[in-house]
Amino acid sequence: MGKIDFKPGNMLYPLPAVLVTTRGSDGKDNIITVAWTGTVCTNPPMLYISVRPERYSYQALKETGEFVVNLTTEAMAKETDFCGVRSGRDLDKFDRTGLHKGRASIVGAPIILESPVNIECRVKEEVPLGSHSMFLADVVHVTVDERYMDQKGSFHLEKADPIVYCHGSYHTIGKALGNFGYSVRKQKKIRKNRTNN
């Protein structure tokens, strides 16, 4: 099996396909699809999104320093794509997609009620990088859909059928292969019951 040299580029896939909601200083709400996003720190909880300065939501991010990352599902795939290819300058994406906005607990930007997880963020720093500016943000509040909680208080995002973005297309995440640490976890010894004859 051979390897082929490839030009430097964005080959780190798959990535979460998220819907980022913003509210401008004029009070106008918008939704932008973002795949350039991820976790940067656990304590304090932080994440980042990278946005092109020419995107409509960029100005709202700069003005208010607040946004919500709304995780997406298979049922939201068409709306996720739509919010990435149409501009909020031209239309109201909540109205056109039928997604419902809810009130965030801390930030001014709305949450998307259909999303299984809403992550409210405040920008800590903007880092201009070239084609994109990266917004490093503190996670200030999280809400989750109670349908995916079990009786022990654990959250099961996989039951919401989340989607990812991979090289220009959307995908479901597939089957679970093991829990964190399964490769080194000791196997339970099975005792055989021996009966005396």
pLDDT of residue 60: 96
User: Tell me, what's the pLDDT at 196?
Assistant: 55
Q: What is the pLDDT of residue 21?
A: 98
The reported pLDDT for the residue numbered 57 is 96
Distance CA 112, CA 71 (A): 9
Q: How far apart are CA 112 and CA 18, in angstroms?
A: 11
| C-alpha closest to that of 66 among 145, 126, 130, 115 | 126
- Give me Rg for the CA atoms of the chain: 20
- The structural domains of the chain, with segments of one domain joined by +, span 15-172
Q: Write out the two tokens for 58.
A: 């960029």
- Establish whether the linkage from the previous residue to 44 is cis, with ω within 30° of 0: yes
Single pTM value for the model = 0.91
Query: One digit per residue, pLDDT tens: the chain, 197 residues?
Result: 899 998 998 889 999 999 999 999 999 999 999 999 999 999 999 999 999 999 999 999 999 999 999 999 999 999 999 999 999 998 999 999 999 999 999 999 999 999 999 999 999 999 999 999 999 999 999 999 999 999 999 999 999 999 999 999 999 998 888 888 999 987 766 666 655 55
**With respect to CATH, is domain 15-172 assigned 2.30.110.10?**
yes
Confirm if 25 and 63 have CB atoms less than 8 A apart.
Answer: yes
